[in-house]
Structure 1
């Protein structure tokens, strides 16, 4: 496994800042209805190798979006900051918040919930929701 990469990110207004280490520059697209409702389209995110260091005090808000996951956002500007699993230290960070341009769209999950009106070019790993959740022993 390659060495992890350090990345800095922040919300739109700068009230919440974070530093994270990612294992690879691989981006995953989530097509689930919750992600699409949260951001108006698929969530394009990278996975952190360890929980990010987040600063921002009372600007950081967290919403329990399901029995197993939470989503963080800035209460000042509304920027979506992370998706995390409650049972394990898994954080997915929207790639657009992070410094760097060396990203690679590598996989798509919840493909059965993807609407017909958009698709990504090129082939990549595609998992159903059940397959994606099984990878995290849900």
Structure 2
């Protein structure tokens, strides 16, 4: 049974409601996604277009002859990958308000992946709230840490 999930961009201008039936998501490592996000990969949730309702439509960029990419023109958040004429689309996992539900089930575009970035669990890790300098900057500006 589908669950209604919400999401949107960093600044809040673009918002959506999606009907999500499962926890499956995937990572795309293709060069187009790397360039579009500035990252080594991007996490996507594939959904039927009819299961996504935009409260505020994203801006769209003709990223290639075969697809559009949705984004927020104000804050730059990448939101979608939409192949022309396809009944499904991809929403960025990080744009969901509760992205922790999703689990990666496959890799796409692996011809461009950077193996050193696939498993970084062995690297030292720190929490944002354990960085005194960063905490002070946030507290001085807005009185709280970001979500």
- Give the TM-score category using the shorter length: 0.7 to 0.9
**Residues in 1 aligned to 2:110 and 2:35: alpha-carbon distance in whole angstroms:** 15
Matches within 5 A, 1:30-45: 30-41=28-39, 42-45=41-44
Q: Which residue of 1 aligns with 2:48?
A: 49
With over 3 angstroms needed to count, the CA separation of the structure-2 counterparts of 1:90 and 1:49, relative to structure 1, is closer
Q: Which residue of 2 aligns with 1:136?
A: none
Tell me the SS of whatever aligns to 1:80.
coil
Number of matched residues?
Answer: 117
Q: Which residue of 2 aligns with 1:132?
A: none
Alpha-carbon deviations, 1:38-88, whole Å to 9, x = none?
11221101111334111325xx31111112111011111111111111111
Q: Is the 8 A contact 2:79 2:91 kept in 1?
A: yes
Q: Please, what TM-score do these two structures have when normalized by structure 1? A: 0.77
Q: Residue 60 of structure 2 is aligned with which of 37, 59, 62?
A: 62
Q: Compute the displacement of 1:22 (Å).
A: 2.5
Q: Which residue of 2 aligns with 1:113?
A: 112
Q: Compute the displacement of 1:113 (Å).
A: 1.4
Q: Which residue of 2 aligns with 1:85?
A: 83
Runs of 4+ in 1 over 3 A off after TM superposition: none
Q: Compute the displacement of 1:91 (Å).
A: 1.3
Q: Please, what TM-score do these two structures have when normalized by structure 2? A: 0.72
**Residues in 2 aligned to 1:92 and 1:10: alpha-carbon distance in whole angstroms:** 13
Q: Is the 8 A contact 1:32 1:114 kept in 2?
A: yes
Greater radius of gyration (CA): 2
**Structure 1 segments unaligned to the other structure (5+ residues):** 122-138
Q: Compute the displacement of 1:112 (Å).
A: 1.1
Q: Is the 8 A contact 1:23 1:49 kept in 2?
A: no
Q: Is the 8 A contact 1:64 1:71 kept in 2?
A: yes
